[in-house]
A = this chain, B = another copy of it.
Amino acid sequence: MEERSISDVIEAYLKSILGDDPRIEIRRAEIADHFDVVPSQINYVIKTRFNLQNGYLVQSKRGGGGYIRIERVNLLDDDDVLQMLIANIGEAISEKDAAKIIKTLYEEKLISRREGDLMLVGVAKQTLNQANKQAEERLRARLLVALLTRLRYE
């Protein structure tokens, strides 16, 4: 691997300390200091190289004892199915169509009955309770996409 930029070096470093651990926790300032870069460069590296598409989940906390946690996740085998479903949802979706998708998830055994029921409650018109139909359908789409995205990994 040829490291052209310091970002590449930092990426390689983080991956090396990840090693066999499923997750690591770093202090942003410490890493930045170690490579003599500004702290926000760490955010850049994480944003461009440790996102879900690349199989990583990142969480962080500010304040005293703050940290950035990087976790490697396994993307599922049927990731394609989920990505297709997500692509099909688009910007807005009706309650009926959402229910169809949830039903598909259940039939494909991607979710349990109970998970499906909870999702149905979540996307219900009454729950979202938006001012107009358009807002409601957009919100429902965001919610559904977020849920499907979460299903993409274990």
Contact = CB atoms under 8 A, between A and B. Distances in A.
B115 A127 contact: no
Contacts of A6: 65
Given A118-B115, A118-B119, A65 B7 contact: yes
A150 B114 CA distance: 10
A4 B118 contact: no
Contact of A121 (B25, B65, B121, B146): B146
Interface in A45-97: 63-67
A142 interface: yes
A121 B147 contact: yes
Contacts of A65: 4-8
A93 to B, nearest CB: 14
A129 B154 CA distance: 23
Interface of A: 2, 4-8, 25, 63-67, 114-115, 117-119, 121-122, 124, 126-129, 139, 142-143, 146-147, 149-151, 154
B142 A127 contact: yes
Given A4-B65, A6-B65, A129-B139, 11 more contacts: A4-B66, A4-B67, A7-B64, A115-B115, A118-B147, A118-B150, A118-B151, A121-B150, A122-B146, A124-B146, A127-B143
A126 B114 CA distance: 24
23 contacts: A4-B65, A4-B67, A5-B64, A5-B65, A7-B65, A114-B115, A115-B115, A115-B118, A117-B150, A118-B118, A118-B147, A118-B150, A121-B146, A121-B147, A121-B149, A122-B122, A126-B146, A127-B143, A128-B139, A128-B142, A128-B143, A129-B139, A139-B139
